[in-house]
Amino acid sequence: MIIGQIIVRESANGGGELRHRDDLKCADGELTLHTDPEDAVGLALYDDAGAYRPLKTAPNLRHGWRMVLADGAAARLALDSFYPGRRGAFAAFQAGRLHPTPLRETLGRQTGMYRVTQKITEEQIDALVGSFCRSDGGCLRTILWKRDTAGAAPSSLLPSEKFDPTHDQSGQTREQFASFVPLLCQEACNLLVAKARAVVKGKSSSGKE
């Protein structure tokens, strides 16, 4: 199975083995072994350069590790630390119970210092979402939400695949893997809202600092 930048396979002990997709061809001995699913919390915190990862679905998961876990329950626990809430969101999506929230509605709910995000213009949304949410360097989630209740696209700068749950946002091949779990985005995250505030306040033009 593939989820984000992680491959999950059956391990020799009958449990599950997780590793970075880029490390698929690495010999086991080249990778640091973890057997506690809670180690995923630490592995997800920093990228290869040691920089904090505020967005867990950013395409910068660190390399060089493998997790050999006792059973499926342990594998699920680890995946929920790497990608919080994403397995559950996909299950809800498959059951027809995932209801995306339009961006304007998310911004309309903001209070306090984030209320100002309601003033963001259409052009600013287009640039911000197109830059901040892009899969190559931004975020690996598949966007399900619309810009507004009229159904406007979140950004004209993103390819149609960014909104397709069957598409692998990593851009890597997944032919040899039977199942694939997309990282779905049903509502704009707090980081995007914070960037929207910066744009409106004139501190950023497109979400980049």
Is residue 192 close enough to count as binding ligand SF4 by CB under 6 A? yes
- 8 Å CB contact between 55 and 42: no
Q: What is the nearest approach in angstroms of ligand SF4 to the Cβ of residue 132?
A: 5
- DSSP three-state, residue 65: strand
**Binders of ligand SF4 in range 76-105 (CB under 6 A):** none
Out of 7, 18, 139, 181, the residue judged to bind ligand SF4 by CB under 6 A: 139
Cβ-proximal residues to 6 (8 Å cutoff; 6+ apart), any chain: 18, 19, 20, 21, 61, 79, 82, 83
Out of 43, 75, 181, 185, the residue judged to bind ligand SF4 by CB under 6 A: 185
- Of 19 and 135, nearer to ligand SF4 (C-beta) is 135
Out of 67, 132, 155, 169, the residue judged to bind ligand SF4 by CB under 6 A: 132
Q: Give the residue among 159, 207, 166, 206 at the shortest CA–CA distance from 184.
A: 166
- Of 15 and 165, nearer to ligand SF4 (C-beta) is 165
- Of 16 and 130, nearer to ligand SF4 (C-beta) is 130
By CB under 6 A, the count of residues binding ligand SF4 is 11
Q: Residue for token digits 């893997």? A: 177
Q: What is the nearest approach in angstroms of ligand SF4 to the Cβ of residue 13?
A: 34
Cβ-proximal residues to 37 (8 Å cutoff; 6+ apart), any chain: 67, 69, 74, 75, 77, 78, 81
Of 18-26, 68-76, 85-93, 139-147, the segment contacting ligand SF4 by CB under 6 A is 139-147
Three-point CA angle 167, 7, 15, nearest 5°: 135
Residue 18, strand partner residues? 8, 67
- Of 43 and 135, nearer to ligand SF4 (C-beta) is 135
Q: How far apart are CA 129 and CA 189, in angstroms?
A: 11
Tell me the residue type at 77.
L
Out of 8, 68, 78, 143, the residue judged to bind ligand SF4 by CB under 6 A: 143
Q: Which residues bind ligand SF4 (CB under 6 A)?
A: 57, 132-133, 139, 141, 143, 185, 188-189, 191-192
